[in-house]
Structures are given as structure tokens and as C-alpha cells.
Structure 1
């Protein structure tokens, strides 16, 4: 009988038990990689977001807003 997992469950299963350096390698290897890696980063971000306090969430939002405001948007085709 096949095991059926959601994407979220599959990502969490894949990263469970990784060392700090293993997690860093996974994150850095996903940055600017094929778009298939983006959902995995989303799951990792969700774990971070749910487990940090409001102050750290606000800090992340500030960094994100600052970087997005500096970036040139890619023209839509």
C-alpha cells in the first residue's frame, strides 16, 4: 500500500533530523534554484514563522519590505 503525503508533510519528513549545517545547505541550495524548490522553502518559512515571537515576525517583514522596495520588478510577459 503506497504512502500518501502532502507536500508539507514530505518536506518536513525530508528535513527532519538534519543538522544546522544540513539545513543551511538545503536552504542555500534552494535559493535561486529551479522553481520546484520554492514550495519547500515555503514550508520551512512556515515553521520559522509559527515559532518566532511577534517582534521577530515584524523584523522579518521589515527586511522583506525593504528588499522588495529596492528590487526592480520583473516585467510581466
Structure 2
């Protein structure tokens, strides 16, 4: 069985509006289930790949502060 997690996650959220995407993210975080982490990782990958250098730097700063 060939399961491509990235494609599956992207397929499941393609066409969603901002409210739906937010609900997906908030739900995954609130549930705290380990199985949701790969999906969040795929969403972060999409964000990272579509961000410019300034936006990436802001994300890194936010991450750094959140981990202190």
C-alpha cells in the first residue's frame, strides 16, 4: 500500500477557507493526539514553503520565544 501522507493531508484540506483551516489546526492541537502531529507538520511545511525570508524569520523568532 502506497500512502503518501503529504498528499493525503493536502487533499483533505484543499479548498478549505481560513475558518476551516483554523478549526483543523485548533482541533488537532486541542486533542493533543500524537497521530495529529504529522498532519500539522505537513501544514507547517506548506506555510514555510510559501513564506518569504522575512516571514520565515518571524516564524523562527516566534518559535524560539515559545520554546524558552
- TM-score when scaled to structure 1? 0.80
Aligned residue in 1 for 2:9: 11
The structure 1 segments of at least 4 consecutive aligned residues displaced by more than 4 Å after TM superposition are none
**Alpha-carbon shift at residue 20 of structure 1 (Å):** 1.1
Structure 2: give runs of 5+ residues left out of the alignment. Answer: none
**Alpha-carbon shift at residue 5 of structure 1 (Å):** 3.6
Instruction: Map Cα deviations across residues 25-66 of structure 1 (whole Å, 9 max, x no partner).
Output: 000001142011000000000000000110110011011011
Structure 1: give runs of 5+ residues left out of the alignment. Answer: 70-77
Aligned residue in 1 for 2:21: 23
Alpha-carbon distance in 2 for matches of 1:57, 1:19: 22
Which fold has the larger relative contact order, with Cα–Cα distance below 8 Å and residues 6 or more apart in sequence? Answer: 2
Question: Alignment length, in residue pairs?
Answer: 67
The structure with the larger Rg is 1
